[in-house]
Structure 1
Amino acid sequence: MISSAEESLATHHYFDREFDSAAVKLLPNEYYVTAADMVLSTVLGSCVAACVRDSVAGVGGMNHFMLPDDGSNGGSAAASASMRYGAYAMEMLLNELFKAGARRERLEAKVFGGGAVLANMTMLNIGDRNADFVLRYLQLEQVRVAAQDLRGELPRRVSYFPRSGKVMVRKLHRINDAAQVRRDEQQLVQTLAQQPIRNKVELFDTPVRKKTAQQGS
């Protein structure tokens, strides 16, 4: 039986000539965690990608989710355990980092996406909801946000280097570059007919909640 982690793992490996590096391309609803010196790449419209690493453990990763998991209706385990929802995608990423030796107090996050690349996406507010969700989630889980590039009207190509923590963000102005993103956004609008389902996944490294959150350096 294939686990949720295996089903959601990005598998598109390639060589990135621009960065002269081994690379993995993440599609929507995927994640990847690595200790290798490589680049993780994805393209975002209203979706959000979180890039998280522990520089001491030498491990980092990225995810790509489509919607915040802010619904309250119940549902089957199969339906709720979906990487398209931010709550599950974030917990999946953090759990895999913890398995690889990361420690919560050393985690550094950089978050991207949440744009409104279609006219009707502004009205539906998907990008803003995703952006608000990921910042709120990381604050709750006491993960320091070192950088962010959220919202706006243009799609983004994000290239993340987990070993160094470096991120290259390119806004996609050309019609050809953004065409696939716009098609994906149209499909995303259709998924909103389904009520997001709240899913609970226990983290392997559950923090002790404090009344006053400490800010990272």
Structure 2
Amino acid sequence: MALDYDSALAPNSYYDQYFEREAVKILPGEYFVTPRDLLIVTVLGSCVSVCLRDRQSGIGGMNHFMLPGNSDEGFGPVSSSARYGVYAMEVLINHLLKLGARRHQLEAKVFGGGCVLRGITANNIGQRNVDFVLDYLHTEGIELLAEDLLDIYPRKVYFFPASGRVLVKKLKNLHNTTLLDRESDYSLRIRKAPVGGAIDLF
């Protein structure tokens, strides 16, 4: 499936039989933006996802990220955690703008931040992710239309950017450890890797 022109860091594309449309699955640290009537899917534990779209054009996208660092660092203006979160948000926003979205027309729905990773529960990472993303959207003046945050369950999120519709399924029984393994590995990676890449701020 040729999705290169509107994709960003999300190579997992497939045809969703249930919803009868092209779909893209994003993993921790990935995001995807599109001007087309696609489905974007992710599964969240402690990470958060922001579903962001231009309310007029329907250009939309989703990210999937977690703040690095520890609970003592917080997410103030100079913390590495804040820099990482801002980077994750600005990369998503900038790709939307490149496709023709207007920043003043952006609206958001946010999900995740569950307390599901036993190894990093002490850092309260889910709460910190939620606090960061809500503060970011408020500071940037991006309207928050809906949220499903915290709790103890992972979530599967289905986002239809063209319409803005989001479906959320709470996963009360995990059949394997794939989600927990992915987020644990991702958490270790972002602690070791500095934020990189150029961002154009608008």
Aligned to 2:145: 146
Structure 2 partner of 1:60: 60
CA RMSD of aligned residues (A): 2.9
- Does residue 36 (structure 1) correspond to residue 41 (structure 2)? The answer is no
Segments of structure 2 that go 5 or more residues without pairing to the other structure are 1-5, 70-74
- Separation in structure 2 between the aligned mates of residue 200 and residue 140 of structure 1, nearest angstrom: 22
Matches within 5 A, 1:11-26: 11-26=11-26
Aligned residues between the structures: 190
Q: What is aligned with 1:169?
A: 168
Conservation of the 8 A alpha-carbon contact between 2:49 and 2:65: yes
Change (3 A) 1:105 1:127: same
1:49-96 CA-to-partner distances (Å, cap 9, x unmatched) read 11000121220001111216848478xxxxx9x9xx321110001111
- Name the structure 2 match of 1:185: 183
Aligned residues of 2:23 and 2:38 also touching (Cα < 8 A): yes
Please give the per-residue CA displacement for 1:9-65, whole angstroms capped at 9, x wherever unaligned.
Answer: 211110111211110000111111111111000011111111000121220001111
TM-fit CA distance, 1:184: 2.3
Task: Render the CA deviation track for 1:85-119: whole Å, top value 9, x for unaligned.
Answer: 32111000111111111112211100111111133
Q: Tell me the TM-score normalised to structure 1 length.
A: 0.77
Question: Identity rate of aligned residues, in percent?
Answer: 49
AA at the equivalent of 1:169: V
The farther-off stretch of 10-19 and 193-202 is 193-202
Structure 1: gaps (5+ residues): 1-5, 75-79, 205-217
Structure number with larger C-alpha Rg: 1
Residue equivalent to 1:209: none
Offset of 1:140 from its aligned partner?
A: 1.0
Closer, same or farther in 2 for the Cα pair 1:163/1:67, shift >3 Å?
A: same
The within-5 A match list for 1:1-217 is 9-67=9-67, 70=75, 72=78, 85-176=84-175, 179-191=177-189, 194=192, 201-204=199-202
Task: Measure, in 1, the Cα distance between the counterparts of 2:137 and 2:39.
Answer: 23
Which whole-Å CA distance do the structure 2 matches of 1:154 and 1:125 have between them?
15
Deviations 1:121-156 (CA, angstroms, capped at 9, x unpaired):
332111111111111111111100100111111111
Contact persistence 1:68–1:129 (CA under 8 A): no
> 2:87–2:195: 8 Å Cα contact kept in structure 1?
no
* Amino acid of the structure 2 residue aligned with 1:121: I
State the distance in 1 between where 2:95 and 2:9 align.
Answer: 11
Q: CA deviation at 1:174?
A: 1.9
Q: Output the amino acid matched with 2:122.
A: M
Once residues 87 and 187 of structure 2 are traced to their aligned partners in structure 1, the CA distance between those partners, rounded to angstroms, is 20
- Scaled by the length of structure 2, the TM-score of the pair is 0.82
